[in-house]
Amino acid sequence: MNKYLVLMLSCAGAALMSTTAHAQTDTGFSVDAEGYYYAFTQPGFDQSKGPYGRIGGSYTGNYLDTFWTADVQLGGGVLNYTSGASGNLDSYVNYSSEVRLIATRDIQFVPDWTLSPFLGLGYRVGYDDSGGNTTTTGNPTVSRLTQYLYWPIGFGLSFPTGSMTFKPSFEYDFLIDGNVRAETSGVAGIGDNLSNNLAHGSGYRINFDTEVQTETGKLSFGPFVRYWSVRVSDLATIDSDGRAVAFAFEPISHSWEAGFGAKLNFGEPPPAPVPVRASLPLPQPPRPIYHAPEPLRAFQVFFDFNRSDLTGAARQVIKAAAAEAQRGKFVHLVVTGHTDTVGSAQYNQGLSERRANAVKGELVADGLPGSEVTTLGVGKTDLLVPTADGVREAQNRRATIELGSNAGS
């Protein structure tokens, strides 16, 4: 199938995805780093291999129910070149850079499991800085600039297990256009730099990431593998003394990258704490035979978007609530889970109940009897900050802990 037709069909498919999908893609700024082994092979001609490293940054925002990620990467490595025909060259530097714009939709297909199809546009540049050297057989070397314009299409999965979330992903890359320029001008009597067009190629990327919540943000890490295969290029003319003396081409090539990466997403800024004010009883005349009940006391914890696992800050609040309950001998603890207004009422009802149950589990772990804790989920009703439907509001993603004491003498 024509690659441009596939691209149009993919874009149409993304446009038709449900606009009520729930988000698992992390918004905000991220920084990342990778270390991997790189191998480039032109079968029957030559190969280059060696260690490589890469750093980068990205920003993800939400617009029209779609996540848009702009990503920039810079890399470098030290490679060894080997060729049965032209000799070997050790320890030359290779540089690379990559820019990508990716559009993602998140689809909740089972509770806490998210499918995230994506597509986009990528531009990759590689530069072999080997010019001006000679190989072990005395042949001169030339630097090469390689450029790929491609579009990626793929999907990611997200499913939590305890305090971790597994996020494997698969991507298929289609080459739109490419070029290899060899800096041959003045080498062995060649008059110009050689430029070969690359019209056909494809690749894939597989990641096996694990995400954990830290005090700074969400940290994801794991192994990955990337592969590209580019078909034979067109012919380029080799000029000498103003005359065409030969033709050159780029043979089929394969490149592999396999290693380990880590990414820190700073996410949205945490919501400012909203105090919950207790209703104090009006002053009453003293009554010797009656002790007025203590006022209701309440605590609040907040959750990340579409998540029911507890952050470190939430655990501290719950610990304080448990200590207060034990110190004041409170009973009738009621934990109420809430959500924002993104998504259906049915899904948010279940999410609010899971948040309430997560808080109850932490209260029990902190020493309170489970029989004294009642949980309740109210979905996207009873908002702390009133919003229209479909609005992401961090302060509505919460659970309240209300502590009431017995009235008596």
Neighbours of 76 (CB within 10 A): 16
Residue 1 has pLDDT above 80, yes or no: no
Measure the N-to-C terminal CA separation of the chain; round to a whole number of Å.
Answer: 82
Q: What percent of the chain has pLDDT over 70?
A: 83
In a shared domain, residues 229 and 371 = no
CATH number of the domain encompassing residue 365: 3.30.1330.60
What mean pLDDT is reported for the chain? 84
What pLDDT shows up at residue 130?
A: 87
Within 10 A of 344 (CB to CB), how many other CB atoms are there?
14
> Both 155 and 247 in a single domain?
yes
Q: Is residue 275 a part of any domain in this protein?
A: no
Number of domains in the chain: 2
In a domain, 286, yes or no: no
CATH code for the domain of 211: 2.40.128.100
146 and 255 in a common domain:
yes
36 assigned to some structural domain: yes
pLDDT tens track for 323-364: 888 887 776 789 999 999 988 888 899 899 999 999 999 999
For 338-385, the three-class secondary structure string (H helix, E strand, C coil) is CCCCCCCHHHHHHHHHHHHHHHHHHHHHCCCCHHHEEEEECCCCCCCC
| 260 and 331 assigned to the same domain | no
Q: Does residue 303 belong to any structural domain of this protein? A: yes
Same domain, 156 and 207: yes
User: CA–CA separation, 368 vs 360, rounded Å?
Assistant: 9
157 and 96 share one domain: yes
Give phi and psi for 351, each to the nearest 5. Answer: -65, -40
Q: What is the pLDDT of residues 219-278, one digit of tens each?
A: 999 999 999 999 988 887 777 666 666 777 789 999 999 999 999 998 755 555 555 554
Q: Residue 81 pLDDT more than 70? A: yes
Among the ranges given (154-158, 189-193, 295-299, 364-368), the one the predictor scored with the smallest mean pLDDT? 295-299
Give pLDDT, residue 235: 81
Angle at the Cα of 305 from the Cα atoms of 299 and 310, rounded to 5 degrees:
45
Q: Does the model's pTM come out above 0.85?
A: no
Q: Which of 265, 287, 318 is the last residue of a domain?
A: 265
Same-domain check for residues 235 and 310: no
Out of 1-10, 85-94, 118-127, 219-228, which region has the weakest mean confidence (pLDDT)?
A: 1-10
**Minimal CA–CA distance to 152: which of 114, 201, 203?**
203
Give CA separation, 368 vs 195, 303, 338, 394, 408, in Å: 73, 22, 22, 28, 22
Q: In terms of residues, how long is the chain?
A: 409
Domain region containing 390: 297-404
**Do 243 and 306 reside in the same domain of the chain?**
no
Residues 220 and 337 in one domain: no
Among residues 265, 287, 309, the one where a domain terminates is: 265
Residues 390, 315, single domain; the answer is yes
Residue 125 inside a domain? The answer is: yes
Answer for the pair 31, 264: CB distance below 8 angstroms, yes or no: yes
User: Which helix (H) or strand (E) covers residue 324, if one does?
Assistant: helix 312-328
pLDDT higher than 50, residue 46: yes
**Are 231 and 322 members of one domain?**
no
Write the Ramachandran bin of 44: left for phi over 0, alpha for psi from -120 to 50, otherwise beta. Answer: left
Dump pLDDT digits (tens) for 178-207. 999 988 777 767 777 888 899 999 999 999
Q: Which residue has the higher pLDDT, 331 or 58?
A: 58
245 and 314, same domain (yes or no): no
Mean pLDDT of 356-379: 91
